[in-house]
Amino acid sequence: MDWSRFYEWQVGRELRATFLAGLEALHDRPPGFAIDLGCGDGLETRELIRLGWRVLAIDSDPGVDERVRAVVGADTVAAAGADGAPALEVWQRDFADIRELPDADFVYAGFSLPFCEPSRFPYLWADIRESLRPGAVFAGELFGPDDAWFGRTGMNFHSVSGVEAMLDGLEVVQLIEDNQDGRSFEGPKHWHVFHIVARAEG
């Protein structure tokens, strides 16, 4: 997929519903440190920083640093938390190259995790689980086997039981399964998506 063209195609979109549900699950937690995995066009990163969060934005696209900083805005990027840490850090990195994630209060992965190599995905998911501080929230999507892209090279897919097993030990705030026709950047598409919001114990 041409990710740069995809992000251009998404210009003007609204904040994703799963992201907003994740924020709602954090309603009693003050802004802290968030990770935006597969940050894409940077829209959710911008919203987090606007709300007072510090954000590590990660994406494999070579233009991610310039694009996200442009979307967030120079004045916002220059903002710092009470400890003087920068509001934004950007990693241009493929999921396969991530070996450890910093501890976080919120991890968001909007439609990005399915594009991790299947052999690497269990390690990435373990990294995500380990990064969640007590009471922290994960929000994001996984794809199911009925998805039209099932079997594509470099993508991972999961059954309902597999998703439930992955969430074992977390408080499941939301688990919505969409299995319906829709549209994608490439045209008409059948989607099989799990929209997840889950909270770590503590």
Which amino acid is located at 184 in the chain? S
Contacts of 129 (CB under 8 A, 6+ apart): 170, 200
Tokens of 178: 């969409």
User: Would you state the pLDDT for residue 28?
Assistant: 85
pLDDT band at 73 (very low <50, low <70, confident <90, very high): confident
Give 3-199's CATH code, choosing from 3.40.50.12280, 2.60.120.380, 3.40.710.10, 3.40.50.150. 3.40.50.150
Give the whole-angstrom CA distance, residue 82 versus residue 58.
23
Q: Do 49 and 16 meet the contact criterion of CB atoms below 8 Å apart? A: no
pLDDT at 156: 98
Burial of 127 (0-12, 13-18, 19+ CB in 10 A): middle
Inform me whether the pLDDT recorded for 182 exceeds 80.
Answer: yes
The structure tokens listed for 193 are 């998506």
Would you list the domain boundaries of the chain? 3-199
Higher pLDDT, 187 or 51: 51
Amino acid (one-letter) located at 183 = R
Query: What local confidence, expressed as pLDDT, does residue 81 receive?
Result: 55
**Which band of pLDDT confidence, cut at 50, 70 and 90, is reported for residue 5?**
low
CA–CA distances in Å: residue 93 to residues 22, 23, 62, 108, 119: 24, 25, 9, 16, 17
pLDDT of 90 higher than 80:
yes
Residue 34 pLDDT greater than 60, yes or no: yes
Question: In 10 A of CB 67, how many CB atoms?
Answer: 21
* Span between the terminal Cα atoms of the chain, in Å: 39
Give yes or no for residue 92 having a pLDDT over 70. yes
Least confident of 13-22, 29-38, 177-186: 177-186
